[in-house]
């Protein structure tokens, strides 16, 4: 009889790997699913749901992400400043043009579980509109998504 292995927080933190995804021409939903699985650790054989066992992820070229159908004009993203009348409504097309890094982060965060652990998990996601910062010291591995 095999025993199920449960990771501990200390052992999971020592085994983190850096990955890079180029978002050029990738559908936003497929990118978000793949990114959420990587930063949560579901791509590893020793995945433990109650431990942050995921890897670090860099997403570059987020301004070249694609949405399908009429989502660019018919869907909107809202946020509120907290003041009266402080709601902002932006179309997905406008978000891709000006705030694409924020759009990708919101999409990935929506794919994570709604608990306290997801606040720690989302901090391992780094999204850049262009080639981004130089993360060569971390030696990230390139992943192809949806092509």
- Residue-level pLDDT at 147: 60
Residue-range domains of the chain with CATH: 15-67+99-131 (3.90.1180.10)
In contact, 34 and 20? CB cutoff 8 Å: no
pLDDT digits (tens, 9 = 90+) for 13-44: 888 999 999 999 999 999 999 999 999 999 98
- Residue-level pLDDT at 3: 81
> Cα–Cα distance between 113 and 90 in angstroms, integer?
25
In contact, 60 and 132? CB cutoff 8 Å: yes
- Percentage of the chain surpassing pLDDT 90? 77
pLDDT digits (tens, 9 = 90+) for 118-144: 999 999 999 999 987 888 888 999 999
Region 85-103: mean pLDDT is 95
**27: nearest Cα among 51, 62, 52:** 62
Q: Is the pLDDT of residue 94 over 70?
A: yes
């Amino acid at each position: 009889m095999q025993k199920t292995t449960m990771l501990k927080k200390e052992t999971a933190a020592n085994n983190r790997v850096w990955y890079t995804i180029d978002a050029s021409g990738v559908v936003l939903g497929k990118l978000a699913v793949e990114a959420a699985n990587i930063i949560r650790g579901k791509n590893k054989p020793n995945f433990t749901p109650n431990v942050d066992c995921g890897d670090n992820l860099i997403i570059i070229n987020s301004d070249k992400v694609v949405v399908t159908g009429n989502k660019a004009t018919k869907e909107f993203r809202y946020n509120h400043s907290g003041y009266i009348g402080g709601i902002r409504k932006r179309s997905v097309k406008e978000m891709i043009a000006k705030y694409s890094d924020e759009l990708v982060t919101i999409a990935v965060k929506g794919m994570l579980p709604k608990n306290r652990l997801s606040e720690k998990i989302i901090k391992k996601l780094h999204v850049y509109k262009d080639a981004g910062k130089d993360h060569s010291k971390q030696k990230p591995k390139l992943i192809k998504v949806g092509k």
